[in-house]
Amino acid sequence: MRYEVANTVEEAVAILGQAESGLYPLAGGTDLLAQIRSGRVAPDGVVDLKRIPELREIVADDAGYRIGAAVSGAELGEHHDLVADWPGVVEAAELIGSTQIQGRASMGGNLCNASPAADSVPALIAAGALCSIVGPGGRREVAVEDVVTGPGKTCLAPGEIVAHFSLSRPQPRSGDAYLRLIPRSEMDIAVVGVGVGLTLDADGVCIACRVALGAVAPTPLVVPDAAATLVGRSVSGAALDDLATAASAAAQPIDDMRGTREYRVHVTGVLARRAAMIAAERAGS
């Protein structure tokens, strides 16, 4: 197996774009190196993206944040402004694995590995994040919810990489939150994950909302029907009941050893309600 280093986005695209290169992008390696070892994938080599400045930095300006696709969870958690503005995104990224995994695991890798249960993806979708994708054909901007097309599959063309994510500056009185259920308190794969992002008006009425679900369908789901239950209402009582019902209705989970279909459908509603309450509390403070 070959190991190549790219120092710029252009270099990465040039190496990965060679026809039949058989090379995979390498970010933190917490999925890829484990898959290579188990034989699940057998690339001819990897192209290390971690020396590319755009993929490694968090840039904040008036418009918002550009978060390098290979920034690790530990680094996200140390960025105080980002934590203050998008706590749901950071808490989701920080749920990935142990402290050791956090030292390497990136949101770019979490997205491109395209697991239905990837924790940071519903949170990014709920936050309305976009990602900047670069490849042989140039650069394009894609909403995070449009990237994953099936288990292990993305919309990336050969030679394309995710360079960075963009998040706007949150509107006043906005908050986001991510919750997942796992059978233990650390180090497991989500049975259900729910991200909620919302904005309140001065009276506490919800004026905008996004809801995204993880682990209950072949891809992370964005659920406008669930979001719509909160808009125009205060985030309490019957509005939350309706949100839970709509979120459960959108879940299309499988039965497996982590949980039955029925259980997952129920938990989806419970977590949607709780995540919305946390997001609303953050929006109000």
Ligand X SMILES: Cc1cc2nc3c(=O)[nH]c(=O)nc-3n(C[C@H](O)[C@H](O)[C@H](O)COP(=O)(O)OP(=O)(O)OC[C@H]3O[C@@H](n4cnc5c(N)ncnc54)[C@H](O)[C@@H]3O)c2cc1C
Question: For binding to another protein (CB under 8 A), which residues are involved?
Answer: 1-3, 26, 28-30, 33-34, 36-38, 45-46, 48, 50, 72, 74, 97-101, 103-104, 185-187
Smallest gap from Cβ 100 to another protein, in A, equals 5
By DSSP bridging, strand 153-154 and strand 148-150 are antiparallel
Residue nearest to ligand X (CB): 109
Q: Is 28 in the site for ligand X (CB under 6 A)?
A: yes
Binding ligand X (rule: CB under 6 A), the pick from 118, 123, 181, 198 is 118
Q: Is 108 in the site for ligand X (CB under 6 A)?
A: yes
CA distances from 183 to 96, 139, 189 (A): 15, 40, 9
Phi-psi map region of 197: left, alpha, beta (phi>0 left; psi -120 to 50 alpha) = beta
Q: How many other CB atoms are found less than 10 A from the CB of residue 1?
A: 11
Smallest gap from Cβ 68 to another protein, in A, equals 15
The closest alpha carbon to 4, from 36, 33, 44, 46, belongs to: 46
Burial class (CB in 10 A: 0-12, 13-18, 19+), 83: middle
Amino acid, res. 14 = A
Binding ligand X (rule: CB under 6 A), the pick from 101, 142, 231, 249 is 101
Task: Say which entry of another protein, ligand X, none residue 276 contacts (CB below 5 to 8 A, set by partner kind).
Answer: none
Region from 20-28, 167-175, 217-225, 241-249 binding ligand X, contact rule CB under 6 A: 20-28
Residues 181 and 188: their CA atoms lie apart, in Å, by 9
Smallest gap from Cβ 30 to ligand X, in A, equals 3
Structure tokens at 193: 């994950």
Residues 248 and 268: their CA atoms lie apart, in Å, by 5
Region from 75-83, 94-102, 137-145, 272-280 binding ligand X, contact rule CB under 6 A: 94-102
Q: H or E segment at 181? A: strand 174-181
By C-beta, is 99 or 149 nearer to another protein? Answer: 99
**Collapsed DSSP state (helix, strand, coil) of residue 4:** strand
By C-beta, is 37 or 80 nearer to another protein? Answer: 37
Q: Is 95 in the site for ligand X (CB under 6 A)?
A: yes
Binding ligand X (rule: CB under 6 A), the pick from 6, 31, 132, 268 is 31
Task: Say which entry of ligand X, another protein, none residue 268 contacts (CB below 5 to 8 A, set by partner kind).
Answer: none
Please name the residues in contact with 138: beta carbons below 8 A apart, sequence gap of 6 or more: none
By DSSP bridging, strand 130-135 and strand 161-168 are antiparallel
Q: H or E segment at 82? A: helix 80-85
By C-beta, is 104 or 273 nearer to another protein? Answer: 104
Task: Say which entry of ligand X, another protein, none residue 285 contacts (CB below 5 to 8 A, set by partner kind).
Answer: none
The closest alpha carbon to 134, from 22, 57, 206, 52, belongs to: 52
By C-beta, is 25 or 170 nearer to ligand X? Answer: 25
Residues found near ligand X in the complex (CB under 6 A): 24-32, 34, 49, 69-70, 95-97, 101, 104-106, 108-110, 112-113, 118-119, 156, 161-162, 187
